[in-house]
Amino acid sequence: MTLLWIALLPLLGVLVPPLVANRGRRDCSLATAALPALALVLTLSQVPALNAGEALRFSAEWIPALGLEVAFRLDGLSLLFNLLILGIGLLILLYAHYYLSPEEPYGRFYAYLILFMASMVGIVMADNLLLLWMFWELTSLSSFLLIGFWSHRSDARKGARMALVVTGAGGLALLAGFLLLGDMVGSFEMDRVLAAGETIQADPRFPLMLALVLLGAFAKSAQFPFQFWLPHAMAAPTPVSAYLHSATMVKAGIFLMARLHPALAGNELWTMVVSLVGMTTLLYGAWFALMKTELKGILAFSTVSHLGLVTVLLGIGSPMAVLAALFHILNHATFKAALFMSAGIIDHETGTRELARLGGLARAMPVTALLTSIAGAAMAGVPLLNGFLSKELFFAESLETPVLGGLSWLMPVMATLGGVLSVAYSLRLVHAVFFKPPRQTPPKTPHEPPRLMRLPVEIFAVLCVLVGLFPSAMAGGLLDLATQAVLLEPLEFHLAIWHGVNLPLLMSAIALVAGIGLYHLHRYLRRFLRGFHPVDARMIFEASIQRLGRRSEALLARLDNASLQRYMGLLMFSALALTSLGLVMVPSLAGDQPQRPVDGVLLTGAVLLIFSGLGTVLAHRYRLISLLLLSMVGLLVSLTFARFSAPDLALTQLSVEVVTMILLMLALFFLPQKTPRESSLPRNVRDTLLAGALGVAITSLNYAVLTRGTPSISGFFLDNSVPGGGGHNVVNVILVDFRGFDTLGEITVLALAGLAIFKLLNRLRLFMPHSDGEGRVWSPDRYPMILTTISQALLPLALLVSVFIFLRGHNLPGGGFIAGLITAVALILLYMARGVEWAQERLDFQYQPVAIVGVGVAAVTGVGSWLFGHPYLTSAFGHFHLPLIGDFELATAMIFDLGVYLAVVGATLMILANLGKVTTPHRPAKNEAAATTSAKEKR
Amino acid sequence: MESLYAITTGVLSACGLYLILRGRTFPVVVGLTLLSYAVNLFLFSMGGLTTDGATIIDGPRDYADPLPQALVLTAIVIGFAMTAFAVILSMRARGDMGNDHVDGRKQEEREENHR
C-alpha cells in the first residue's frame, strides 16, 4: 500500500494549490510542498526493505481485458529517480516561491508543477508498460502547460507547442512499440517483460519494436535529431527549466532506456544505434552550447550534450557503463539544477540573460558566483567534484567499447572532444558572467538574491562537492541498488577519486587544458563561423506546421465547403462504391430459389408505385402536386405490406401516411409553393446518374437477397410468443416484450423529436401568404360545416376504435403504435375542422407531458420486473376470468404498450398541434396589431 | 415477383436519392420520405416475401417472418419523427435565413461564398 501512496500523494497534491491559492502565497507554497514531502519520506522509509533485497510491488486490476493494471514497483532505479524527482522538486518549489512575482497565478503554476511531478513519479514507479505510457503522456501534457505558462509570450507558446508535438509524437511511437513488446511477451507486466529479453530479441519484429521505443525515448530526451525542441522550451519560467530540463522530463527517455535495458540491450543493433545517436547528440549539443550567447541557451544545449553522454553509456551497455550512466544521471541532475537556478537568479537580479550585457558579477553577488563556479566546474569535470568522477568512468568505458569495430578508437577521441567542448562552455558560463570585466551595464543593478532563494543552489553545490569527495559514502549505496535494478544482478564496484595515472586521467587533463585554450580562442572561432547562416530549428518547425495547416485547409475546402449537396453527393458516392464492391464479390446475382410468378394485381400495383414515385420526382418543382403523388406512393406501400402478409405494417403505414401528409401540407403552407429552376444541366445529369446507379445497386442487392433462402431467427419468436410472451400477435409481442428495450429506445427518440420540434417552433414568425402559388386567394370558408359536423361525430367513434385496436393488439393486428396514431389522427381531424383555438380550449392540456409520461410508463414497467428479481423488461402475464365479460388475458406488456401509446399520441400531437399554432397568431385575415398582441400573450 | 419487387425498391430509392440531392428544403424532405419508403420495403423483404402467410399464432402453419415486420413497424414511426423534424427545421431555416436553401445560410453569405 505504501507504494500506492507514494504514487498517489503527488497526484492528490495537484488539487492542493488551487484550493489554497487564495490563502496567501506563503501558505500556498507550504501546503503544496506537504504532500510531495510526505511521498519523499515514504520513499525513504522503504530503503531498508530495498537494502534487504525485497521486491516491492503493488498491483490492482484496472482493465484486465487490455492487460492494464494499476501496478507500481519500487526498486533501486525507481528509488534513484524518485529521490531526484521529489527532492529536486521540493527545492524547485522553494525557489519558485521567490522567483515568481506575486502577481502571477502561482496557484496554477504550482498545480502544473505538481502534476508534472506526479506523472514523473508515475513513470518511474509504473510496473506495467501501459500504465507507464499513460504517465509518459501525462508528462508531455503537463510540460506543455509549464513551458507555455507565460502564455502571453509568443515564444513560450511556440516552444510549448513544439515540445508537445515532438514528445507527443514520440509518445505515440512509444505506444506502438509497447503494444508490440507486450504482444511478444504476452504481458505488459514489467517483471515478465524484463525477464523475457531473449524471447524479445529473437522475435523478427524486434528491430521495428526497438525503433519505435527508441523513437519515443529519443524524442523525450532530446536526442539527435529531436534535439531541437529543448532549447526552445527554455521560454519557460526558470524553475520549470531547472526542474524539467535538468533532472526530470528529459531524463524520462533515459530512464526508459535504463528500465528496459534487460529486455532490449545487449545486441549489436541496440549498441550501434543508441551509442552513435548518443555520441552525435553529445558533440552537437556541446558545440552549440559553446556558440550560444545567452545563459539558458548554453544550459539547454549543454543539457542536450550531457543527455547524449548518458545515452552513449547506456548504448555501450556493459555493467560498468550502466553504473557510469546512472552516476552521471545523478551528478548531472545536481549540477545542472544548480546552474539553471543560478541562471534564474542572475536573470532575476540583473534583468538579462545575454552574455554580452553581463560581466564582473562576482563583485556584486560573491556567494552566487562561488556556487555557480562549483557547479560549473562539476559540469566541466574538474577533479574533486562529482562531474569528474562520472566523466572519468565515461572516458574509461569509451576506451573499451568495440562498438565501431575497427574504428572503435574514434570513440575515446570523440569523448575527449566532447570533454574539451564541455570545459569551454562551462568556462564561458562562469568566467564570462562573473569574472570578466563588464562591457555593458545590465538593466538592473545586481545584488545577492534572498537568502532562501539561494538555499537550493547552496544545497546542490554542497552535494557536488560532497559526492566528489566521498563518492562511495554519498552515492555508493544508491548506485548499488540502481545498477542492481537495471542489470538484474548485483555489481561489484568501488567509486574512488584516484585511480592512478591512466588513460582516462590523461583524457581528462587534455580536456581541461584544451578546453581552457578553446575558451580563449572561441571569439575568433565565432568570427569565422559568422560566414555560415545558422539554421533555426524553430523556423523549419513553424514553417512545416504552417505548411501542414495550409494543406489541410486546402483539402478541407475541397471536401467541406458547407454545401449539403456536396456532402450528400460524397456520401452516396462512397455508398455506391462500397456496395458495388460487395456485389462484385458475389459470384452470381440470382440465388438458388426460383422466382415466383407475377399476377395482374401485383403488376398493376408495382407499375403504379413506380410511376407515382417517378411522378413525385418529375413534378418536384410543383410542390403540391409532388406531395400528392408522394401520398400515393405511401398508400401503395401500405397496400404492399398488406399484400405480403403484414397487416400490422399496413395499418401503421396507413395511419402514419395520414399524419405525414397533414404535416407536410401544413409545412408547405409556409414554404414557397414552387422550387426555382436552379440546378445546371451537368449537375442534373450527374445527380440522375448517381441516384440511378445507386438504384441499380439497391435493386441488385434486394434481388440477390430475395432469391436466396436466408436462415432466420424468427423461429424462436414464433415458438415462444404464446408460451413466453402471452400473446398471439408475434409482431406485437416482439415489440413490447422480446425486443422491448429497442422499442423503449424508439419511443424515446420519438418523444425527443417532438420536444426538439416544439423548441424549433418556439417564437417562430413566418410570412403567411394570402394566396396559393397560382395567386388564388385562400377560401374564406375556414371551417367547412360538413367537416365540422362529421369530425365531432367521428371523434368518440375513432377513440373507441383506437381503444379496441390497442386492447386486441397483443393477440390480433394492432397495438400501441397503431392505436396511438389513430387517436392522434382523430384529434387532428378535430383541430382541422374547428381550428386550433377551439380545440385548445377544449383539450386543455399540454402534449409534452403526455409523451414524457408515456416514455416514463414504459421505462417504469421495465423497472417493475426488477422487483421480482427478473432482468429489465421481463414480462409477466396471466389468464383472468370476469363474470359477464369472460376469459381474458393480462400481461405487463400491456402496460408497456400503454406507454408506447401515450408516447406516440403525445409526440404526434406535440408536433402537429404546435405547428398548427404557428398559423393562428397572425392569420392573414386578422390585422397586424391583433397578431402582435396575441403573440405577446403567448410568450 | 422477386425481380419486380426489387426493381420497385430500386426505383423508389433512386427517386428519393435524386430529390435528396436537390438544393431546396422541401424536395429534400419529400426525397427523405420516399427513401424511407424504399428502405422500409427493402428491410421488410429481408424476411422473404410471403403471400397469404399467417401472422397470428394458430397452430403449425406457414407464418410470415415477424422480425422484419416488427423492425419496420418502429422504423415507420421513427421515419415519421425524422420527416417531421426535417420539415420543421426547414421552416425554421426559412424563418431565420429568409430562404429555403439547404445550406442554411443567408442569401448574402451564400453569394459571398460563391465569389
Interface test with A, best of B80, B111, B112 (most A CBs within 10 A): B80
Can you tell me the distance from the alpha carbon of A190 to that of A605, in angstroms, rounded to the nearest whole number?
Answer: 71
Query: CA A156, CA A151: separation in Å to the nearest integer?
Result: 6
- Give tens-digit pLDDT for A428-478: 888 888 888 877 777 777 888 888 888 889 999 999 999 988 888 888 888
* Residues facing A57 on adjacent strands: A73
Contacts of A702 in chain B (CB under 8 A): 5-6, 9-10, 42, 45
- From the list B4, B10, B50, which residue is nearest A644 (CB)? B50
Using CB atoms, pick whichever of A731, A742, A817 lies closest to residue B66: A731
Taking contacts as CB-CB distances below 8 angstroms, the residues of chain B near A672 are 24, 26, 100
In whole angstroms, what is the distance from residue A329 CA to residue A247 CA? 8
**Scanning every residue of chain A, which has its alpha carbon at the shortest distance from the alpha carbon of B89?**
A760
Q: Count how many pairs of residues, chain A against chain B, have C-beta atoms within 8 Å.
A: 303
Q: How far is B39 from chain A (nearest CA, A)?
A: 10
**Secondary structure (3-state) at A726:** coil
Could you count the other beta carbons within 10 Å of the beta carbon of residue A254? 25
Residue A690 with chain B: CB contacts under 8 Å: 17, 21
Decide: helix, strand or coil at residue A489.
coil
> What span, in angstroms and rounded, lies between the C-alpha atoms of B66 and A646?
8
pLDDT at residue A556 in the model: 84
Residue A101 buriedness (CB in 10 A; 0-12 / 13-18 / 19+): exposed
> CA A776, CA A187: separation in Å to the nearest integer?
79
To the nearest whole Å, the CA of A592 is away from the closest chain B CA by 13
Q: Which residue of B has its CA nearest to A907?
A: B81
**Chain A contact present for B98, CB below 8 A:** no
A514 sits in the region (left: phi over 0; alpha: psi -120 to 50; else beta) called alpha
Phi and psi based region of residue A840 (left: phi greater than 0; alpha: psi -120 to 50; beta: remaining) = alpha
Distance from CA of A877 to the nearest CA of B (A): 17
Q: Is A538 exposed, middle or buried (0-12, 13-18, 19+ CB in 10 A)?
A: middle
* Beta carbons of A675 and B24 less than 8 Å apart: yes
CA B100 to chain centre: 20
Report the pLDDT value the prediction gives residue A938, as an integer from 0 to 100: 46
Q: What is the chain B residue with the closest CA to A693?
A: B14
The dihedral region occupied by A647, where left means phi > 0, alpha psi between -120 and 50, and beta the remainder, is: alpha
User: Cβ contact (<8 Å) for B4 and A698?
Assistant: no
Q: What are A517's three cell numbers?
A: 585554450
Rounded to a whole number, what is the distance in angstroms from the first to the last CA of chain A?
Answer: 62
Q: Is B70 on the interface with A (CB under 8 A)?
A: yes
Inspect the interface and report whether the beta carbons of B11 and A610 lie closer than 8 Å: yes
3-state secondary structure of A838: helix
If you write DSSP's letter for every residue of A741-795 in order, what string do you get?
A: HHHHHHHHHHHHHHHHHHHHHTT------SB-TTSPBPPS--S-HHHHHHHHHHH
A220 and A165 Cβ atoms separated by less than 8 Å: no
According to the model, what pLDDT value does residue A925 have?
A: 43
How many Cβ atoms sit within 10 Å of the Cβ of residue A410?
14
Q: Which residue of A has its CA nearest to B102?
A: A564
Q: How much is the ipTM here?
A: 0.93
Show Cβ contacts of residue A199 under 8 Å, excluding neighbours closer than 6 positions: A184, A185
Min distance B86 CA to chain A CA atoms (Å): 9
- Angle between helix A386-400 and A503-529 (nearest 10): 100
Chain B residue numbers with beta carbons less than 8 Å from the beta carbon of A620 are 19, 22, 27, 30
Residue to test with chain B: of A561, A654, A703, A902, most B Cβ within 10 A:
A703
| Cα angle A638-A639-A645, degrees, rounded to a multiple of 5 | 95
Residue of B nearest to A696 (CA): B10
Q: Which residues pair with A777 in a beta bridge?
A: A771
The Cα A653–Cα A636 span in angstroms is 10
For A685, the closest chain B residue by CA position comes to B18
pLDDT of residue A933: 45
Q: Are A82 and A121 in contact (CB under 8 A)?
A: yes
CB contact under 8 A, A718 and B66: yes
What b/e string do you get for A354-372 counting C-beta neighbours within 10 Å, with b at 16 or more?
ebebbbbbbebbeebbebb
- Cβ–Cβ gap A648/B52 under 8 Å: no
pLDDT at A173: 94
Q: What integer pLDDT is reported at residue A611 of this predicted model?
A: 94
Question: Considering only CB atoms, which chain B residues are within 8 Å of A766?
Answer: 91, 94-95
* Cβ <8 Å between A765 and B95: yes
Nearest Cα neighbor of A236 from A113, A389, A57 is A113
Q: Which residues pair with A74 in a beta bridge?
A: A56
Q: Please give the Cα distance from A363 to A366 (Å, whole number).
A: 6
State the sign of the Cα–Cα–Cα–Cα dihedral A89, A90, A93, A98. Answer: negative
Distance from CA of A645 to the nearest CA of B (A): 5
Assign residue A874 a region (left: φ > 0; alpha: ψ between -120 and 50; beta: otherwise): beta
Give yes or no for a contact between A721 and A733, defined as CB atoms under 8 angstroms apart: yes
Q: Which chain B residues are within 8 Å of A706, Cβ to Cβ?
A: 2, 5-6, 45, 48-49
Of B34, B65, B77, the CB nearest to A652: B77
The closest CB to that of A694, out of B14, B57, B102, belongs to B14
* Beta pairing partners, A189: A128
Q: What is the pLDDT of residue A929?
A: 42
Q: How confident is the model at residue A206, as a pLDDT?
A: 92
Among the residues of A292-350, which ranges form H helices?
295-316, 319-350
pTM across the whole model = 0.64
| CA dist., res. A374 & res. A194, Å (int) | 39
Residues 6+ apart with CB under 8 A from A855: A744, A747, A748, A751, A899, A903
Buried b (16+ CB within 10 A) or exposed e, A500-511: eeeebbebbebb
E strands, A23-158, in order: 56-63, 68-74
- Nearest Cα of chain A lies from the Cα of B106 at a distance, in angstroms, of 13
Omega before A446 cis (within 30°)?
A: no
Alpha-carbon span A679 to A417, nearest angstrom: 74
- A598: chain B residues, CB-CB within 8 Å: 1, 4
- Interchain contact, B17 vs A678, CB within 8 Å: no
Which amino acid belongs to residue A324? Answer: A
Give the tens place of pLDDT for each residue, A739-786. 888 888 889 999 999 889 888 888 777 777 777 767 777 776 677 788
Please name the residues between 5 and 64 in chain B that touch chain A, using a CB distance below 8 Å.
5-15, 17-30, 33-34, 37-38, 40-42, 44-58, 63-64
Q: Is the Cβ of B109 closer than 8 Å to some Cβ of chain A?
A: no
- Mutation pick from B61, B65, B94 vs chain A, by most beta carbons of A within 10 Å, is B65
Owner of C-alpha cell 431565420 = B96
Q: For residue A165, with 0-12 CB atoms within 10 Å meaning exposed, 13-18 middle and 19 or more buried, which class applies?
A: middle
Chain A environment of B13 (Cβ under 8 Å): 691, 694-695, 698
Cβ-Cβ contacts under 8 Å for A652 (sequence gap 6 or more)? A817, A818, A821, B73, B76, B77
Q: Is the dihedral of CA A227, A229, A233, A235 positive or negative?
A: positive
| Chain B residues in contact with A765 (beta carbon < 8 A) | 95
Give the contacts of B38 (CB within 8 A, at least 6 positions apart).
Answer: A698, B9, B10, B12, B13, B16
Residue contact A904–B20, C-beta within 8 A: no
**Other beta carbons within 10 Å of A551:** 10
**Which of A620, A644, A904 is facing B49, going by the closest CB pair?**
A644
Minimal Cβ distance to B92: which of A664, A734, A764: A764
* Pick from B26, B66, B72: CB nearest A623: B26
A606 vs B63: CB contact, 8 Å cut-off?
no
Residues of chain A predicted below pLDDT 70: 531-538, 773, 780-781, 867-890, 920-939
Judge whether B5 and B49 are in contact, CB under 8 Å.
yes
pLDDT band at B113 (very low <50, low <70, confident <90, very high): low
Per DSSP, the residues of A615-627 read HHHHTTTBHHHHH
Check B9 against A699: CB less than 8 A apart. Answer: yes
